[in-house]
A and B are shown apart, each in its own frame.
Chain A
Amino acid sequence: MKVIQRIFCTLLVLYALQSCQYNDICTAEVPTTPKLRIEFHDQQRPGLLKAAESFNVRALGDTAYYFSAPINDTTAAIPLRTDKKETAYELIFHQGDSLETKRDTLIFTYNTDEIFISRACGFKSIFTDFDVTYTPTSKGWIKNIQIPDTTKRITDDTKAALFIYF
């Protein structure tokens, strides 16, 4: 009888193990849909990075600004719409500080590719044929823009996909 009891216990344990699941969570390290990374450069000295003071962005037609408070950095990453082939953003300089606020509108156009990541994360979008449309205005602050990647693809947001000169 002892053998049977032992085997039966093993069976019950194995049966109980069945309900255990691997931790299927999409962790932060897994690369997902990339954001558009912008690097700010000095127009007078193009190789040099220059911090954009009190910088914020807002999607055209949206009331909410992307950053909860304006940032001061040489780089910024903003999301692109995956459900459309374009995203229009208003880029604001000197938002809410002592200097005059300036705005520019950039329209980003691209194609998307849906790529499967994993069971936990599902699918991500990457961007191809990336392009920018920019019309300079007197109220603007951007002097020049450039897409550094000649392949026009955005697959991750660790390196900059757009240079803004001001």
Chain B
Amino acid sequence: MTQKLLFLFIFSLLLGSSFTGSAQEKHGVKVVNDTAVYKERYGLRIGIDLSRPARGFLDKKYSGLELGADYRFNERFYPAIEIGYENFEYDENYFSAKSQGSYAKLGVNYNAYKNWIGLQNELYAGLRYGFSSFSEELHNFTIYDKDQYFPPDYREDSQKFSSLSGHWLELQLGIKAEIMHNVFLGLHVELKRLISSKNPDNFESLWIPGFNRHYDGSEFGIGWGYSISYLLPIYTKERKEVRK
């Protein structure tokens, strides 16, 4: 399922002429006296993650949505925010449960890519502080017994654990490519580290919205996203480059 999405993204990247640089004309670059002048657009970019609705469509056990926004502060830095909600049913070996809640991530992206004049793509590294407020519900479980002498003890016992929370730090590495005027496609991966989490009584925070699966004995987590966003230009800044 996720292979399809990745392939689709690579394909759309190849379609976009931005990386080949032949879009110079359509991005309004003026060449005057050996100096190329381009008005870089600065503004607020608003986007939506496509991987989550796609996963929700393909995976009956999952539903989720993430919206993101970033703002170009200067040439390299883009403060960013993401908010979302996730709802996940998980079936483990000896129990079934559900986790649902919302999350928010605040941070800043650093664009490491030196664009050719006329382009506004990004190859960025970002830092985020993420937090989630969620609840878990245990549906059923089977008592673990090494012995098989007696039949398995299966309990259908719905237990709700609310007011759970999780806080983490996240590193993002990603690409944003302008495929049409002011429209960007983005792909990124996330490396997360849980700082603190409020665990329920006699259970565990096993799946935290925004953080994903919380494994036994590890505070690290990973994730990824595939997004489409639109830039609302607010002002422009001139960028000059002298042609040699």
Contacts and interface: CB of A to CB of B under 8 A. Distances in A.
A59 interface: yes
Contacts of A150: none
Contacts of B144: 26, 32-33, 117, 121-124
Contacts of A125: 143, 145, 153
Contacts of B222: 14, 17-18
7 contacts: A3-B123, A7-B123, A11-B173, A33-B146, A79-B149, A83-B150, A119-B215
Interface of A: 3-4, 7-8, 10-11, 14-15, 17-18, 21-22, 24, 26, 28, 32-33, 35, 59, 64, 66, 79, 81-83, 114-125
B230 interface: no
Contact of A122 (B93, B123, B147, B150): B93
Given A4-B123, A11-B174, A116-B202, A123 B143 contact: yes
Contacts of B143: 33, 82-83, 114, 122-125
B19 A4 contact: yes
A117 B174 CA distance: 38
A115 B215 CA distance: 19
A59 B148 CA distance: 13
Given A11-B189, A79-B145, A120 B93 contact: yes
A115 B94 CA distance: 13
Given A118-B216, A123-B143, A124-B145, 15 more contacts: A4-B123, A7-B175, A11-B175, A15-B2, A18-B189, A22-B215, A22-B217, A26-B144, A82-B153, A114-B202, A119-B215, A122-B93, A122-B141, A123-B141, A123-B144
Contact of B224 (A15, A32, A33, A79): A15
B173 A81 contact: no
Interface in B188-229: 188-189, 191, 202-204, 206, 215-218, 222-224
A79 B148 CA distance: 9
B142 interface: yes
Instruction: Please name the 9 residue pairs, one residue from A and one from B, whose CB atoms are nearest each other, closest first.
Output: A122-B94, A14-B189, A79-B147, A83-B153, A82-B153, A22-B215, A33-B145, A32-B144, A82-B143
B42 interface: no
A162 to B, nearest CB: 17
B42 to A, nearest CB: 23
Contacts of B150: 59, 79, 81-83
B95 interface: yes
A14 B224 CA distance: 9
A155 B218 CA distance: 27
Interface in B1-38: 2, 6, 19
B179 to A, nearest CB: 15
